[in-house]
């Protein structure tokens, strides 16, 4: 039995999410995933297992993919966070990874998709022109129960193509 104090102390956490500074006062045990979803209302990030295996909750913290269900919000005070909502193009339309998923039918129910979009966004920054084998490996830490991954692999390759053509390649 955990001992919870009658009045759980709150901590002010400020993060820059998708370029916008956002803040909320939360208990120390508030998960980053819950903070994003329920305190900031960014419900695009999904929680599929709460033990860091499925990858649906993947967000980018300072550009690197992390499992937001395994982190406390207070650990990331002051961080730059990118969620699926921030993977759009400059004009608010679909970003290249999102567009690639649409072109290739890379999603069905859409629940795991945000974690794939953020993971692939970070991956293509590192490796802008993956081979098919590399694309398959790049998504091998995320679970999807609908697609059998065939079209997600295709989406990675398509996203690389789209980024290349729009000049959105890593510096």
Residues that bind another protein (CB under 8 A): 1-2, 4, 6-8, 27, 29-30, 37-38, 41-51, 53-54, 56, 83-85, 88, 94, 98, 101-103, 105, 107-114, 117, 136-137, 139-153
Q: Cβ atoms within 10 A of the Cβ of 23, count?
A: 12
**Contact (Cβ atoms closer than 8 angstroms) between residue 161 and residue 134:** no
Question: By C-beta, is 79 or 151 nearer to another protein?
Answer: 151
- Residue (7 or 167) nearer to another protein, CB: 7
The partner residues of 14 in beta bridges, in order of sequence, read 23
Least Å distance, CB 125 to another protein, is: 19
- Smaller CB separation from another protein, 133 or 171: 133
Q: Residue 96 CB, nearest distance to another protein (Å)?
A: 11
* Planar angle of CA 50, 59, 94, nearest 5 degrees: 125
Specify the DSSP element, H or E, that contains 125. helix 113-126
C-alpha span between 161 and 124 (Å, rounded):
10
Task: Rank residues 14 and 150 by Cβ distance to another protein and give the closer one.
Answer: 150
Contact 67, 46 (CB under 8 A): no
Q: Are 35 and 71 in contact (CB under 8 A)?
A: no
Comparison of 103 and 168: residue with beta carbon closer to another protein: 103
Least Å distance, CB 154 to another protein, is: 11
Smallest separation (angstroms) from another protein to the CB of 14? 20
């Amino acid at each position: 039995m955990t001992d919870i104090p009658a009045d759980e102390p709150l901590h002010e956490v400020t993060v820059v999410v998708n370029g916008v500074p956002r803040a909320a006062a939360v208990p120390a045990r508030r998960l980053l995933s819950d903070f994003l979803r329920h305190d900031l209302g960014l419900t695009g990030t999904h929680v599929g297992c709460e033990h860091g295996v499925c990858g649906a909750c993947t967000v980018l913290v300072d550009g690197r993919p992390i499992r937001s269900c395994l982190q406390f919000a207070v650990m990331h005070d002051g961080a730059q966070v990118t969620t699926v909502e921030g993977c759009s193009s400059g004009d608010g339309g679909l970003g290249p990874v999102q567009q690639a998923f649409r072109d290739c039918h890379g999603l069905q129910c859409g629940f795991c998709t945000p974690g794939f979009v953020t993971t692939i966004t970070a991956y293509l920054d590192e490796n802008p022109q993956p081979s098919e084998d590399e694309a398959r490996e790049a998504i091998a830490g995320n679970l999807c129960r609908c697609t059998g991954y065939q079209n997600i692999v295709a989406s990675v390759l398509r996203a690389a193509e789209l980024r290349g053509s729009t000049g959105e390649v890593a510096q």
